[in-house]
Structure 1
Amino acid sequence: MRNIVLSIISGLLLTIGWPTYGFPLFLFFGFIPLLIAESNIRKNKYSKSQVLGLAYLTFFTWNIISTGWLYNSTAFGMWFAVLVNSLVMSLVFLTYHIVAKRTTFMISSIFLVCLWMSFEYLHLRWEFSWPWLNLGNGFASFTSWIQWYEYTGSFGGSLWIWTVNMITFKSILLFLEHKDKTILYRSAIRNGIIISIPIIISIIILNTYEEKGHDVEVVILQPNINPYTEKYNTNDTRIGILLDSLTRSAATSNTDFIIAPETVFADNNRLNNFSRSIAKNTGKKLLDSYPNAHFLSGISMIDVFNNPNKIRKQTNTYKEGIYYDDYNSAFFVRPDGSSELYHKSRLVVGVENFPYQSLLKPIVGDAMIDLGGTVAKKTTQEDREVFFTNDSIGVAPIICYESVYGEYVTGYVRNKADFLAIITNDAWWGNTQGHKQHLSYAKLRAIETRRSIARSANTGISAIINQTGDIVSSLGYEKQGTLKGTLKVNEKITFYVKAGNYIARVAIFLSIFIFLFSVTRRKQKK
């Protein structure tokens, strides 16, 4: 019973440390009760299934409370995400337990830290990708603590959290063995230093950082269209009229960019007819009135064909001999009428993609989650597209879920994006922590890349975020309106943009090496 209580406490500590309602200091101690429970089991030689069960209890508690808001969009999707993510986290912890029985405390601690970051890296890469609870995201509401993310990315935060957890855990074990309170005093001082130094460094960076680049004026549109009752029952003509009205309430002759949210145009747009679409004509019409501006918006598009040579991995079958590619896209219109398209490439599992289709389709059939009328697999593109103005200002068209991926976003910056435009539709989750967390994660991307962000969200929260991750201005949830402001365009490249998730790659190497070492050592003993 004691171990069960410890497991639940760990889950609750991780939960109350999570944005946007929590205080991240709790993350530094969140794993300790679970680690103590695992140590108790290891000493008493209980079964691996008990470790797995206790770990699952911890991670299920954390997942269900922190991401249970997914239920508002899809009950199946929420339970799948919570149950599977909790299981994978538990398997990571079980692997640590196996290694810890065969190696020293120091080696097993390094292994757990590295293995966890390897798991987080996997969550950024595999088809069941769900990096929402990657530990480095936990500081998203306290950006003054993590200005050094421009050097480490969010994996620096994960490493920081685990380092304090393991050092504290070691001190507790020593205290339980020797019953000497000075061990706890020294541990408190040591942890205070380890926690404080990165925060002090961050504050110094924050107070000395000067935003780079010149100002551009942006007008961000927030149409506030309910995706369940209005979105797919509203034609593009009415959307165009609404966006025109919103724009004219705020745009001026000095406006450089007009930005509308993800899939705001969703009225059966054909890829081969885009140049004559209502969506593009809306953009051109707006720019006739504001000749210095550029229009960036989201659009749903399909490409229907009967040529089997065009079939790709993500192509959908309409009926025998007829196929179609379904796109969640962004388009860009310049004052001269020229335009470009970008297709979203980091997709929501089960809603926009069918993970490991060749393996799962024979088992579950063509099962996709119906989310507001979207049931088809989305087609992506390989490169991170950057839209350029005629005077060479580059804007990154980041669509919704893509903004959660740090290294992915650096691809836009390496392709010369001078600022980031995040277009999204967070209304699926209702007025929950979902849209608030999503907004807060955008602040991490600003710090990592030192790029200002213009965020257009269908129902909110739309925002302008500066290069240090501060929200300069915002438009609240479920409000229809515009947000006008200035942001700076920046050409400088941060170390993280150049190096990417190098911490995670080192962690993968170390975790594999230690695992093989522990297995070999066990065999030699036998």
Structure 2
Amino acid sequence: MKIAFLLLMMEAMKKRDILLSLLSGILLVLSFPSFDLEFLAWIALVPLLYSIEEKGLVCSFKLGFLTGIISFLGILYWIIVAVHTYGNIPLILSALILLLLVVYLSLFIGAFTYLTRLIQNRSGLQTILFTPFLWVALEYLRSFLLTGFPWANLGYSQYLNLPFIQMADITGAYGLSFVVLLVNATLFWVLHQWSKRVFPFKEVIVTAIILLCFLIYGYLKMGVIDRQMIQNPPLKIGLVQGNIDQSIKWDKSFQIETLKIYEKLSSKVAEEKPDLIVWPETATPFFFQDAKEYQPLVLDIPKKTNAFLLFGTPTYKIQKGKVNHYNSAYLVSPSGEPVGKYDKIHLVPFGEYVPMQDLLFFIGSLGEGIGDFKSGKETFNFSLQQGKFGVLICFEIIFPDLCRRFVKKGANFLVTITNDAWFGRTSAPYQHFSMATFRAVENRVFVARAANTGITGFIDPRGKILKQGGIFKEEAMDGTIRLSSQKTFYTLYGDIFAWVCSAFSALLLAYALFQRPKKY
């Protein structure tokens, strides 16, 4: 079925155009972790733009869709591992879930090429003048449509390019996608005009100025942040990576052993006298709130270490006679008293709940690993004597607007706890970790990350990874962060840049639709 579908899709396209489309997909895959060839993102879409030149709308959509299929398959292949290996869903159904997600995400790139040709054909505008706005608008739409999945946004490929990503404290990561796409569109236009023996000086100069502004701002801002960090009050944090095997994590006979592992690692990080010790998501594989046998063991650890303890745990509430489960985080004081709880707001589709249950009623019965959680209702900042911090549980760290709300409400740093054991030894843990760097830059706060099987680490407000552990190994990591109290433009106002791009794209599309189409 899948092969036949692809063959039908390719019928109207020339081999050269198909190869160019495939090339763009491959270059996008190589731009992201764990390949980390981020420089390829600056040219990745040039072949695709070249392939749709002078093409009809349907053909352009197909070429963009094909690029999406290749790129998202290469980036998100690990979903089969998570759903099949750990979700216990049959391999065929797991492949179907991956394919459905990839097809859905590929529609956005297909829409990009379709709308690019539509606007070109009806307005006569050059690609370079509007495609960056259109790309950002579609990325922004993808971030919230059908609960949102802003994974592998174009700008995220640049997480190691520190000077360039500093502008995210104003534009968010969408501004980075804008410039990367602008460079791609400019290079395409240079090649297009070169065949006519013309060099587009104006377009190249404008693009160079914009890119230079981003880089100059980045270098200057990094120096400012360096000086500010020294002046901000310090806080010592110990991160614990238990490396608990997902296949036995929920086995009742292994619960005591799990706590012993966390106690051992907590004692190790306590040697550096941290103010806060952090365990990963669902570190306690039981309901902490009423686990009479295990609760005293957990509460005893902050007493022994004389540090606050933050840990993930499943919780429940009885509401209107119904038991609702939550993915939560508790903070316990050095005296052994729980002093706060946060319930995860943005849940993972198929991992923590089944979307469209009326339609996909059979999924829950097929996978023992599929959870059934309810979403928390509000952001909540935990308080220490030194300051406040917000907690993002797993998937939540990829949503910039959610993260900024914690900082806007007074968080001086962010903690993200996760259990990436679901991903296995794939590129997913590296992709997931890389996105946390942008939350640090956007809000100019330190980010501390504790993961069950990795990657555990510290990220500073410049987006620089200060410490990074390995995967599938026990880790006891200490670090000193600085507490920030300043609010960035992005923290205060959010995705205004993405809104502007979306509004411009909508107006331009409306204008184009009222113009008489040219013949293809």
Provide the TM-score with structure 2 as the length reference.
Answer: 0.87
Pairs aligned (count): 490
The match for 1:87 is 107
Rounded to whole Å, the distance in 2 between the matches of 1:220 and 1:434 is: 21
Q: 1:28 to 1:149 in 2, by over 3 A?
A: same
Look up the equivalent residue of 1:521 and give its one-letter code.
Answer: Q
Question: In the alignment, is residue 505 of structure 1 matched against residue 503 of structure 2?
Answer: no
The match for 1:310 is none
Deviation at 1:123, TM superposition (A): 2.2
Rounded to whole Å, the distance in 2 between the matches of 1:111 and 1:194 is: 15
Q: Please tell me whether the aligned partners of residues 350 and 371 of structure 2 are also in contact (alpha carbons under 8 angstroms).
A: no
Deviation at 1:153, TM superposition (A): 1.2
Question: In the alignment, is residue 206 of structure 1 matched against residue 229 of structure 2?
Answer: no
Rounded to whole Å, the distance in 1 between the matches of 2:285 and 2:249 is: 11
Rounded to whole Å, the distance in 2 between the matches of 1:122 and 1:87 is: 12
Residues 248-269 of structure 1 show CA distances to partners (whole Å, capped at 9, x for unaligned) of 12204832001000011122x2
Residues 58-86 of structure 1 show CA distances to partners (whole Å, capped at 9, x for unaligned) of 11111111221222112344323222211
Rounded to whole Å, the distance in 2 between the matches of 1:370 and 1:409 is: 33
Aligned partner of 1:55 among 56, 64, 76: 64
Instruction: Report the RMSD for the aligned CA atoms in angstroms.
Output: 2.6
Q: How does 1:286-365 map to 2 (within 5 A)?
A: 286-291=301-306, 293-304=307-318, 307=321, 323-336=322-335, 337-355=337-355, 357=356, 361-365=357-361
Q: Could you tell which deviates more after superposition, 335-344 or 191-200?
A: 191-200
Q: Could you tell which deviates more after superposition, 252-261 or 279-288?
A: 279-288
Q: 1:432 to 1:39 in 2, by over 3 A?
A: same
For structure 2, the residue ranges without an aligned partner over 5 or more in a row are 1-14, 84-93
Rounded to whole Å, the distance in 2 between the matches of 1:206 and 1:216 is: 21
Q: Please tell me whether the aligned partners of residues 222 and 481 of structure 1 are also in contact (alpha carbons under 8 angstroms).
A: yes
Q: 1:331 to 1:91 in 2, by over 3 A?
A: same
3-state SS of 1:19 partner: coil
Look up the equivalent residue of 1:421 and give its one-letter code.
Answer: V
3-state SS of 2:77 partner: helix
Q: Please tell me whether the aligned partners of residues 120 and 134 of structure 1 are also in contact (alpha carbons under 8 angstroms).
A: yes
Q: Please tell me whether the aligned partners of residues 280 and 333 of structure 1 are also in contact (alpha carbons under 8 angstroms).
A: no
The match for 1:379 is 374
Q: How does 1:91-110 map to 2 (within 5 A)?
A: 91-106=111-126, 109-110=128-129
The match for 1:38 is 52
Deviation at 1:369, TM superposition (A): 8.8
3-state SS of 1:57 partner: helix
Look up the equivalent residue of 2:189 and give its one-letter code.
Answer: K
Deviation at 1:193, TM superposition (A): 5.3
Deviation at 1:16, TM superposition (A): 2.3
Q: How does 1:3-152 map to 2 (within 5 A)?
A: 3-42=17-56, 48-74=57-83, 75-76=94-95, 77-106=97-126, 109-152=128-171
Look up the equivalent residue of 1:256 and give its one-letter code.
Answer: D
Question: In the alignment, is residue 262 of structure 1 matched against residue 281 of structure 2?
Answer: yes
Rounded to whole Å, the distance in 2 between the matches of 1:229 and 1:235 is: 7
Look up the equivalent residue of 1:56 and give its one-letter code.
Answer: F
Rounded to whole Å, the distance in 2 between the matches of 1:436 and 1:380 is: 26
Look up the equivalent residue of 2:462 and give its one-letter code.
Answer: T
Deviation at 1:186, TM superposition (A): 8.1
3-state SS of 2:359 partner: helix
Percent of aligned pairs with the same amino acid: 24
Q: Please tell me whether the aligned partners of residues 131 and 182 of structure 2 are also in contact (alpha carbons under 8 angstroms).
A: no
Look up the equivalent residue of 2:372 and give its one-letter code.
Answer: K
Q: Please tell me whether the aligned partners of residues 168 and 187 of structure 1 are also in contact (alpha carbons under 8 angstroms).
A: no
Look up the equivalent residue of 1:364 and give its one-letter code.
Answer: L
Look up the equivalent residue of 1:54 and give its one-letter code.
Answer: L
Q: 1:413 to 1:128 in 2, by over 3 A?
A: closer
Q: How does 1:165-176 map to 2 (within 5 A)?
A: 165-176=184-195
Provide the TM-score with structure 1 as the length reference.
Answer: 0.86
Rounded to whole Å, the distance in 2 between the matches of 1:39 and 1:110 is: 15
Q: 1:398 to 1:363 in 2, by over 3 A?
A: closer
Look up the equivalent residue of 1:205 and give its one-letter code.
Answer: K
Q: Please tell me whether the aligned partners of residues 109 and 166 of structure 1 are also in contact (alpha carbons under 8 angstroms).
A: yes
Q: Please tell me whether the aligned partners of residues 67 and 109 of structure 2 are also in contact (alpha carbons under 8 angstroms).
A: no
Q: Please tell me whether the aligned partners of residues 265 and 279 of structure 1 are also in contact (alpha carbons under 8 angstroms).
A: no
Q: 1:512 to 1:278 in 2, by over 3 A?
A: farther
The match for 1:478 is 472
Q: Could you tell which deviates more after superposition, 141-150 or 257-266?
A: 141-150
The match for 1:45 is none
Question: In the alignment, is residue 388 of structure 1 matched against residue 404 of structure 2?
Answer: no
Q: Please tell me whether the aligned partners of residues 64 and 112 of structure 2 are also in contact (alpha carbons under 8 angstroms).
A: no
For structure 1, the residue ranges without an aligned partner over 5 or more in a row are 43-47, 308-322
Look up the equivalent residue of 1:324 and give its one-letter code.
Answer: V
Q: Please tell me whether the aligned partners of residues 189 and 200 of structure 2 are also in contact (alpha carbons under 8 angstroms).
A: no
Q: Please tell me whether the aligned partners of residues 398 and 435 of structure 2 are also in contact (alpha carbons under 8 angstroms).
A: yes
